[in-house]
Amino acid sequence: MVFQKLKKTKRRGGEISPDEIFLDDINLPKFDKSQLEGRIERPLGSGSALALGAFFVLALFVFGGRLWQIQITEGEQYAERSRDNTLKTTPLFAERGGITDRNREPLAWNTPDPEHQEFLARSYTARAGSAHVIGFLKYPTKDSSGFYFRNDFNGIAGAEREYNEVLSGENGVRTIELDVRGSPISESLIKPPKRGNDLLLSVDARLSEALYGFLMERIRAAPFEGGAAAIMDVSNGEIIALTSAPEYVPQVLSDGTDSRRINGFVSDQQKPFLDRSAAGLYAPGSVVKPLLAAAALEENIISPEKKILSTGSISIPNPYDPTRTSVFNDWKAHGWVDMRDALAVSSDVYFYEIGGGFEDQKGLGIALIEKYFRLFGLGEELADPLLGQAYGTIPSPAWKKISFPDDPWRVGDTYNTSIGQYGMLTTPLQMLRAIGAIANGGNLLEPSLIAGETASARRVPVSEEHLRVAREGMRRAVTWGTASGLYLPFVSIAAKTGTAEIGIAKKRVHSWVVGFFPSTAPRYAFVALLEKGPSANTIGGVYVMRQFFEWLYATAPEYLK
């Protein structure tokens, strides 16, 4: 009955069967008692409990210690490693602005390059003559792991350097998610790149190339060590042509792969990295005479019509031995010359006398000479850092006291400074600027390489009447004087030559010519210099400019109108 009653008793989910409660008595004799068969449970011995407890305690210490090491001691390291392994932040390189000449002919631009997957490579014009104007750059640099430790384009020279901020733009940023194998899963743009601005230069690359070619022809033939030439708009200071010879090749230096050619530029004795137009300092010789003539007229030292006799030299008592005389030679005997003719024939005696005085002819004296040379911009850097890379030197008693402390200033020093010799040094661009002020009526402009830029200017305190005399003398130099090689039927040119003797033996000379055109209503001023040629050479700056004007007439006559 009990069995039946129990059998009828129900539990949740079904009935309870008796064999779920009681052992199977029928099978009891068959159980292997040594294997504990037939036992409902086996009690745990005290030894086993201790061993199990010790195991759990040891495991707790091991895993707890390791967890402490990972989270506390090495936590930041692993966190950083985790971030590095999952997210990479990389720069998106901004496209660099292009550089063009005044006619929008490309001088520097960007092109795809298989060697530079992440950014565009720089390409440069194949035209010669503009290397120092354009310059070159270095690319962003990465290490062996692909990390860019320098992520900008670095302008090294020329406009690439001086206008680097204008050209550069702003790099963007992106993140790349990587899996455990380092393969990209996805990427996100955080900041888009901003393209750099284009640069429109004032130069005409055709003109610079032509000047460069004519310079190099004379440099090789004479030979000279180098040269420079430039043309400036006298109304606004824009540089229309600018070149320095010899030059480097921007593409070779930016690519940086041709070590043989790069080493050749570095070791070249003709210094192709020197921008002779802006950084080269040279004795100007007679090209300063128009400035001195204007100064003498302004200070009422002499009238333009008064004539001075040049017999080939003047002599004054020797400061070291009064019984002897010091002789200051002219390059030839010119006879009686007034100011215009003195400029035309480049009479040294005439300018010795109006500079330092002689007998009854009063001279400016070194203080006024220095004053007017500085008023015309000599001895100072040009404002544009690409064009103004040197100050130059105007000799003076203060300068000599520093340079030659045991030798006082003498009248002979004034004579030599009056003709652009002694310790006087200028850059070709300084002389171009000064002659531009003669041409345009006394506005000393700041030369500029940027097209359309408003030039700053200051007035040279010399009257238009006196400047006109200097211009007329320079025109005579072309019609029948020392610059007669520039007497051409298709353009009226005014010019002044200069031959500066250098070295103790005076066996080497710098050959100069400066001027402007058209002579009656000047639009452009020019300068050409050939550096350190043989003194016997008679073919220099004038020859270069004659070839250039003939080329200009045939190729770009709009500049001659």
Q: 58-89, pLDDT tens digit by residue?
A: 667 666 666 666 565 665 665 555 555 577 77
- Mean pLDDT over 370-393 rounds to 96
Burial 18-28 (b: 16+ CB within 10 A, else e): eeeeeeeeeee
pLDDT at residue 5 in the model: 38
- Mean pLDDT over 224-233 rounds to 98
What H or E segment, with its residue span, contains residue 518? none
Q: How far apart are CA 352 and CA 418, in angstroms?
A: 6
Partnered with residue 336 across adjacent β-strands are: 309
pLDDT at residue 18 in the model: 46
Q: Which range, 3-7, 93-97, 189-193, 526-530, is most confident?
A: 526-530
Mark which of 139, 166, 197 sits at the end of a domain: 197
pLDDT at residue 246 in the model: 98
Query: Is pLDDT above 90 for 407?
Result: yes
**Residue 454's pLDDT band (boundaries 50, 70, 90)?**
confident
Instruction: Tell me, yes or no, whether 210 and 121 share the same domain.
Output: no
Instruction: Tell me, yes or no, whether 243 and 284 share the same domain.
Output: yes
Query: Is pLDDT above 90 for 253?
Result: yes
Instruction: Tell me, yes or no, whether 185 and 246 share the same domain.
Output: no
Q: How many domains does the chain have?
A: 2
In a domain, 31, yes or no: no
Instruction: Tell me, yes or no, whether 390 and 532 share the same domain.
Output: yes
For 416, the domain range is 205-560
E strands present in 28-150: 87-92, 99-100, 106-113, 116-124, 137-138, 141-142, 148-150
- Mean pLDDT over 153-179 rounds to 90
pLDDT at residue 485 in the model: 98
Mark which of 152, 181, 197 sits at the end of a domain: 197
pLDDT at residue 113 in the model: 83
**Structural contact between residues 521 and 441, judged by C-beta atoms closer than 8 angstroms:** no
Instruction: Tell me, yes or no, whether 243 and 109 share the same domain.
Output: no
In a domain, 38, yes or no: no
pLDDT at residue 83 in the model: 52
Give tens-digit pLDDT for 283-303: 999 999 999 999 999 999 999
* Distance from the first to the final alpha carbon of the chain: 138
Instruction: Tell me, yes or no, whether 161 and 220 share the same domain.
Output: no
Q: Quote the percentage of the chain above a pLDDT of 90.
A: 72
- DSSP code string of 167-219: HH-B-EEEEEEE-TTS-EEEEEEEE--BPPPPEEBS--HHHHHHHHHHHHHHH
**Residue 121's pLDDT band (boundaries 50, 70, 90)?**
very high
In a domain, 22, yes or no: no
Query: Is pLDDT above 90 for 16?
Result: no
Query: Is pLDDT above 70 for 28?
Result: no
Instruction: Tell me, yes or no, whether 301 and 403 share the same domain.
Output: yes
Q: For residue 342, give the nearest of 432, 439, 437, 419 by alpha carbon.
A: 419
- Three-class SS of 3-21: HHHHHHCEECCEECCHHHC
- Mean pLDDT over 374-384 rounds to 96
Global confidence as pTM: 0.83
CA distances from 383 to 184, 455, 483 (A): 51, 10, 31
Instruction: Tell me, yes or no, whether 465 and 419 share the same domain.
Output: yes
In a domain, 3, yes or no: no
Interstrand relation of 226-233 and 239-245 (parallel, antiparallel or unpaired): antiparallel
In a domain, 515, yes or no: yes
**Residue 109's pLDDT band (boundaries 50, 70, 90)?**
very high
In a domain, 171, yes or no: yes
Instruction: Tell me, yes or no, whether 166 and 239 share the same domain.
Output: no
pLDDT at residue 80 in the model: 58
The overall average pLDDT reported for the chain is 88
Query: Is pLDDT above 70 for 56?
Result: no
Query: Is pLDDT above 60 for 33?
Result: no
Task: Decide: residue 71, CB within 10 A, 0-12 exposed, 13-18 middle, 19+ buried.
Answer: exposed
pLDDT at residue 233 in the model: 98
Weakest mean pLDDT among 7-21, 380-394, 442-456? 7-21
In a domain, 439, yes or no: yes
Q: How far apart are CA 244 and CA 30, in angstroms?
A: 116
Q: The domain that contains 391 carries what CATH number?
A: 3.40.710.10
Q: For residue 70, give the nearest of 86, 56, 82 by alpha carbon.
A: 82
Weakest mean pLDDT among 136-150, 174-188, 199-213? 174-188
Regarding predicted confidence, which is higher, 21 or 495? 495
Regarding predicted confidence, which is higher, 125 or 23? 125
Q: The domain that contains 173 carries what CATH number?
A: 3.90.1310.10
Mark which of 179, 197, 215 sits at the end of a domain: 197
- Mean pLDDT over 110-132 rounds to 92
In a domain, 219, yes or no: yes
Query: Is pLDDT above 50 for 120?
Result: yes
**Structural contact between residues 522 and 470, judged by C-beta atoms closer than 8 angstroms:** no
**Residue 8's pLDDT band (boundaries 50, 70, 90)?**
very low
Q: How far apart are CA 154 and CA 554, in angstroms?
A: 40
**Residue 399's pLDDT band (boundaries 50, 70, 90)?**
very high
pLDDT at residue 114 in the model: 79
Instruction: Tell me, yes or no, whether 408 and 522 share the same domain.
Output: yes
Instruction: Tell me, yes or no, whether 432 and 342 share the same domain.
Output: yes
Instruction: Tell me, yes or no, whether 236 and 175 share the same domain.
Output: no
Query: Is pLDDT above 90 for 50?
Result: no
Query: Is pLDDT above 80 for 552?
Result: yes
- Mean pLDDT over 202-214 rounds to 99
Q: Quote the percentage of the chain above a pLDDT of 70.
A: 84
- Token pair 């002044």 is found at 496
**Structural contact between residues 156 and 137, judged by C-beta atoms closer than 8 angstroms:** yes
Give tens-digit pLDDT for 300-358: 999 999 999 999 999 998 877 878 899 999 999 999 999 999 999 999 999 999 999 99
**Residue 10's pLDDT band (boundaries 50, 70, 90)?**
very low
